[in-house]
Structure 1
Amino acid sequence: MADLLYLVHRIPYPPNKGDKIRSWHVLKYLAVHFRVHLGCFIDDADDAHHIDTVKALCASTCFIRQYPMLARVRSVSGLLTEQPMSLPYYRNAGLQRWVDALLHTGQLRQALVFSGPMAQYLDTGPGHVLQRVIDFVDVDSEKWDQYAATKAWPLSLLYAREAHYLRNYERHIAQQFNASTFVSSAEAALFRQRAPMARRKTGYFNNGVDAAYFAPPADTGAACDNPYPAGRRVLVFTGAMDYWPNAEAVGWFVQRVWPALRLRFPELLFYIAGSRPARQVRALADTPGVAVTGFVADIRPYLAHAALVVAPLRIARGVQNKVLEAMAMQKTVLATPQALQGINAQDGVEVASASDEHEFVQQASRLLTENIDLGPAARLRILQDYSWDKNLQRLGALLGIHSDPSLGRGPGHGAGNGAAHPQARREPPS
């Protein structure tokens, strides 16, 4: 079995955030085919309890404890150079020494890097001899542009600077590495526009959903007690609530959408379910009809018993796992176009979309009044297009792993829902 280096900006387990869901499934897939050498950061003390779970899949590991406040201070050094601040944020001499020591053994031939800033560990020196693939996941520079557009000076200037230098770095890495992947065809197409010099090496593979775990209770027979007050209909938003785009989304929803819905449906409640709610999110619980749960051990009952799942994200990149999980649970999802970006779902059939507060009120009112159920079609879409086993074959093709014919047509055959080998499948010119 060949050796492979896997560098990730955050320990992949537990898979309780969007990036960790993807990196964890990638790690499990890699461990079947390679002796995996994993280097990553731990930015949450609770995650350190799961080191042994991750080690069990790896030939060797290097875990670096990262303290976010200190990392933010270090990132300021990027302002003194023509570098994005993201690079010093994730720069660590100990991790670099571990990578270099592995490279000097001569046993490595391939490397997979998860997230742009982690590419710095292979950008110079002996890392050049490897077959290097980077999973950017999202076009992060675009996210910083979105941040800049929503913030006042001086943050708007700082975020615009980060977008500029990070975009340059993304282009550089895409040219240096053998292949780049993204989380959706839309994200890959955007990057091809931003980095046309690397368009032939740019591909994508979709996320997946564990559809056996995220399934309607009627399908599993599992107990699923209602967490909501009896006799009340509930809208629910799920996600990590210390993540600013999530916090911004629920704040906007409570301020701009909720008053009109509450007036039309006095019995309606809005639940914000997710870990580590920021202060501004906790304050929303003072609004009549709004509840903030904090951490919940199992999100499935909150999805299963909701009348409607909402995703009012106005800043989003890539693919929203919260939407995929709700669809897998056979729920009707009402979301902004930003939250649906990159998801292969038909508006009005498998999901419902709303662009502003007026559309949100109208759509939610219609769905609630007419008891419209898009859930069965949504789950069918997940079963058809969002299998980890099938979608990861497209990553495997870049790493020399032969595809399993029983899981559908392999990379390069136009299955329409993943990343073909970048040179085998290209998007039409944009």
Structure 2
Amino acid sequence: MKEPLLYLCHRIPYPPNKGDKITTFNILKFLNKHYDLYVGCFIDDPLDNQYKARVADMCKACFFVDLNPKISKLKGLTAFGKGEPITLPYYRSSKMFDWVNKTIANHNIKKAFIYSGCMAQYVLTPETDHLYKVMQFADIDSDKWRQYANASNGIMSKIYMREYYTLADYEKYVAEQFSVSCFISDTEASLFRELVDEGIQVKVKTLSNGIDSDYFSPTEQSSLGEPFSIEDDNYIVFTGAMDYRPNIETVIWFSQQIWPNVVARCPNSKFYIVGSSPPKAVLELEKTQGIVVTGRVDDVRPYLSNAKAAVAPMLMARGIQNKILEAMAMELPVMTSQRGVEGLENCSLDNLYVTDSEQEMIDWVCEKLNYPQSSAKDARAWLERHYSWDAKLTPLLDYLGDSRE
């Protein structure tokens, strides 16, 4: 009989088709080998209701709360009267509080693993004070809001800056209350240690992302589920959830500043933007010659395997970019910015091109489009050595140990 463990995450950990869900799914799969899992999460996309059974198969019990983004945004406004970050009321649910408390009591749960700071509120109550708690912040989320503020004007800049300050204070409080606080890279963990007192610094650890190199493999069979002519097109690709602001800002910037220069030199080429829920601003990019916005796709792998290269010139980012790992695993050359590789440790590869120069980006993309598809075997080999999920998640077992310092 395995030990019970409470596992909370802010979004259903399936399907593994976007950044956080890739991580939470692989953590779910890993922890299921070692614990009886009690999983609580939100569903913010009605299409994901079909996957409840898949999650249920991997845990002892699970609880799902529907989250309507429009209603949650209104709930978020209550933060202004309480001096707390908007993120907390956005994900606050009395149903989730009740389920957590009852589940802990009914199953004698003594440990909890929490993914995302917004879910920490459910184990910062008198009923959960006895728990041994491990937090996966992933990245310093508050700093993302600082980046948003610096990239915005007027009232939105002030709102984003307020979120930065309140969330930064909250992150420090959570780290103080939890037994262990994890970040996605050594760089991110070091940055957070600089923000907290010495007593908290020793509790800050690294818990990195991995990559399923069996699934993301150029030899693994995958099929196209959408009516695009990718086998005939000469294209580069950007992948990622398109309702995520860093992705939105990046593809808009690239489409306006880089792509016109590329298509002038490579007139028959295309730029595929692959990802779910693109807003109007991204959809309108299709008016530009050669740009294709796919929306949600069944499988991202065909778009990677047929591309000449992947681009991820992130303007704002925190942590490790899964889109880069996936492209590398598919043996695809990748071009990114300095921000895009901040979470990748000791990665120096011929087929991972890092630059913040617009002209260098243009030249690199044109070179890839003008020549036959090349295989970035060195990138995949490096990933297999350094980024298997089991290798990256094994430290979590130590972090969940019973010893309390």
Q: CA deviation at 1:196?
A: 3.8
Q: Is the 8 A contact 1:227 1:301 kept in 2?
A: no
Distance 1:346 1:29 in 2: 25
User: Residue type matched to 1:64 in 2?
Assistant: V
Q: Aligned pair in 2 of structure 1 residues 51, 106: CA closer, same or farther (>3 Å)?
A: closer
For each residue in 1:219-246, what CA deviation from the matched residue of structure 2 results, as whole angstroms up to 9, or x when unmatched?
A: x4x3667954666421111111122211
For each residue in 1:299-350, what CA deviation from the matched residue of structure 2 results, as whole angstroms up to 9, or x when unmatched?
A: 1111111111101211111111111000000000001111222123534524
| 202, 205, 211: which one aligns with 1:203 | 205
Secondary structure in 2 matching 1:108? coil
Q: Which residue of 2 aligns with 1:69?
A: 70
Distance 1:285 1:344 in 2: 35
Secondary structure in 2 matching 1:237? strand
Q: Which residue of 1 aligns with 2:244?
A: 243
Q: Is the 8 A contact 2:222 2:299 kept in 1?
A: no
Q: Is the 8 A contact 2:307 2:373 kept in 1?
A: no
Q: Aligned pair in 2 of structure 1 residues 345, 251: CA closer, same or farther (>3 Å)?
A: farther
Q: Is the 8 A contact 2:140 2:188 kept in 1?
A: yes
Q: CA deviation at 1:267?
A: 2.2
Distance 2:248 2:306 in 1: 23
1:151 aligns with 2:128: no
Q: Aligned pair in 2 of structure 1 residues 48, 231: CA closer, same or farther (>3 Å)?
A: closer
Q: Percent identity?
A: 38
Q: Which residue of 1 aligns with 2:189?
A: 188
Please report the RMSD computed on the Cα atoms of aligned residues, expressed in angstroms: 2.1
Secondary structure in 2 matching 1:129? coil
Q: Aligned pair in 2 of structure 1 residues 186, 371: CA closer, same or farther (>3 Å)?
A: farther
Q: Which residue of 1 aligns with 2:303?
A: 302
Q: Which residue of 2 aligns with 1:406?
A: none
What residue ranges of structure 2 are gaps of 5+ in the alignment?
none
Q: Which residue of 1 aligns with 2:120?
A: 119
Distance 1:177 1:191 in 2: 15
For each residue in 1:73-93, what CA deviation from the matched residue of structure 2 results, as whole angstroms up to 9, or x when unmatched?
A: 001111111211111111111
Distance 1:272 1:399 in 2: 39
Q: After the TM superposition, which residues 13-412 of structure 1 pair with which residues of structure 2 at under 5 Å, given as runs? A: 13-105=14-106, 107-197=108-198, 198-217=200-219, 220=220, 222=221, 228=229, 232-344=233-345, 346-347=347-348, 349-368=350-369, 373=374, 375-400=376-401
For each residue in 1:108-146, what CA deviation from the matched residue of structure 2 results, as whole angstroms up to 9, or x when unmatched?
A: 110001100111111120211111000011110010001
Q: Is the 8 A contact 1:111 1:131 kept in 2?
A: yes
Q: Is the 8 A contact 2:6 2:111 kept in 1?
A: yes
Secondary structure in 2 matching 1:309? strand
Distance 2:156 2:148 in 1: 9
Distance 1:359 1:323 in 2: 19
Q: Aligned pair in 2 of structure 1 residues 229, 215: CA closer, same or farther (>3 Å)?
A: closer
Q: CA deviation at 1:26?
A: 0.7
Range that drifts further, 316-325 or 362-371? 362-371
Distance 1:9 1:116 in 2: 9
Distance 1:350 1:333 in 2: 6
